[in-house]
Amino acid sequence: MQLTGAQIVIECLKEQGVDTVFGYPGGAILNVYDELYKHKNEIRHVLTSHEQGASHAADGYARSTGKVGVCLATSGPGATNLVTGIATAYMDSVPIVAITCNVGVPLLGKDSFQEIDIAGVTMPITKHNYIVKDVTKLADTIRKAFEIAKKGRPGPVLVDIPKDVTAQKTEYQAKEPVAVQRDTGRITEEDLQTALKLIREAKKPYVFVGGGAVISGASEDLREFVDKIDAPVCDSLMGKGAFDGTDPRYTGMLGMHGTKTSNYGVSECDLLIAIGVRFSDRVLGNAKKFANQAKILQLDVDPAEINKNIVVTASVIGDVKEILGRLNAQLAPMEHKEWMDHILAYKEKYPLTYHPEGLSGPYIVEQVYRMTKGEAIMVTEVGQHQMWTAQYYRYAKPRTLLTSGGLGTMGYGLGAAIGAQVANPDKQVVNIAGDGCFRMNMNEVATAVREKLPLIQVVINNHVLGMVRQWQNLFYEARYSATVLNDSVDFVKLAEAMGATGIRVTTREEFTDAFQKALDSKTPVVLDCIINCDDKVWPMVAPGAAISEVFCEEDLDNK
């Protein structure tokens, strides 16, 4: 049948099982929005307050479900406003498809009104991108975009469509989506046998889990693997929930704000088994000193990650769920009692602690954990509150912590929380923000209200840019350059002005009461939680130091 380009866009979205898109209309994309209006009973459109919010919402939708998230924007500034969200998804391997519309083909390259080469702009931050100048190629291009976004190591794909192409007609024939298979082509028996030999010879193995284990759905295989090799487990920020954070073998996060147990344990192990991790600088600390007494076995779907940031002893390249399944099939149960006892003694000696009095970030996160029974989808912005949320909420399941790990995007959380709440209407979504981050995209409170989303926005408000201030305090002789937010912004009034409920809390008792009200509410609630401006994230590894040099507040006091 003959369809316009705009109609083809909608039909292709329906082919791919898309039920929700996030976006903001404009002149160049009007034809697509007109068709979207006609299909509003099949595809829900969430109008965000800003295109960046739309890209983060698509990201949150994707992270919380494993499906491809979709965002829409018009040409020029509409398209460029997606860039931060696309880059965030790229750094954390999140499958999103961004559809933008540009000026007509005859106007391209002529500095036309609201023209931008968005394909050129986003080339370094997408798995692939397209500008479709021929309507006959539009359907197959959109189908390919979804396939690429999901395949192997997931990531964002952008499709840019000139306005005249959305109006032109061509023959359209529906197709079933391509079934994306797990990436197993590079898994060799030789690599598996090398891995098995390293595992069987190890006396002090340690398992380090990253976001790849979440993406591949490898949690059950991972649990079986850990039980078989009898090893402790730590994770990266992106790996939260891949291994049950309440399991006795779990020792917490590794790296700059990792636990002493994980940092000491990895520094003492004789085999580090890295599963779906990219060895970021925040994990490694001083790369030359990282696990330098251990052999390192890396399991990852992306060959580009092998030996990129740290040289490994051996690797198996492929989907980590598939790799773990094949290793489990050949592994007999092992026992490392002395090693496990040693690590468990570290856990007992070096628990995460915080000041027992007053309202603080760690207390807030622990109380949220208790009151949600560990079953919420937690979302964060970036900074001290992000680390506290990683440290003090125990993630038993994957896809329950959504946070910007690679790009560290302030302003990510509220948009992502909207996407997650839309995708998971029966779950409680909580976004933890600092006051600095909340300011960046707090306009999305209006979106949450319009969509009647019962998400809870917790603002941990210390009236400073907390993480930067912490570095200034520790490493810049307390020169607080541009990090003090000494103005009169009232987040409670702001929330109420946008139609949400706003509650200010200053004590533990007030927080418990306010959070219970928020849980009972069916509408968005903003909690403005006032804490001390000098609270810090502990433990910490100084820049350039080895992770074994991790220190906490007591260590500084004892110097």
Could you give the residue numbers annotated as active site?
51, 113-114, 163, 467
- The answer to whether the CB of 110 falls within 8 A of the CB of 82 is no
Rounded alpha-carbon distances, angstroms, from residue 351 to 131, 243, 266, 347, 492:
53, 19, 17, 6, 35
Q: From CA 40, how far away is CA 34, in angstroms rounded?
A: 10
For residue 99, list its beta bridge partners.
72, 159
Question: For 184-218, where are the alpha helices, taking DSSP H only?
Answer: 189-201, 211-215
Q: From CA 318, how far away is CA 295, in angstroms rounded?
A: 20
Per the structure block, which two tokens stand in for 430? 């909580």
- Residue 183 host element (H or E): none
Q: From CA 281, how far away is CA 289, in angstroms rounded?
A: 12
- The answer to whether the CB of 449 falls within 8 A of the CB of 475 is no
Q: From CA 157, how far away is CA 118, in angstroms rounded?
A: 12
Contacts of residue 291, Cβ cutoff 8 Å, sequence gap at least 6: 266, 267, 269, 272
Q: From CA 444, how far away is CA 21, in angstroms rounded?
A: 16
Four-CA torsion 415, 419, 424, 430, nearest 10 degrees: -10
**Which single residue is written with the structure tokens 């395949």?**
151
CB-based burial of residue 361 (10 Å sphere; 0-12 exposed, 13-18 middle, 19+ buried)? Answer: buried
Q: From CA 215, how far away is CA 242, in angstroms rounded?
A: 9
Chain centre distance of CA 308: 21
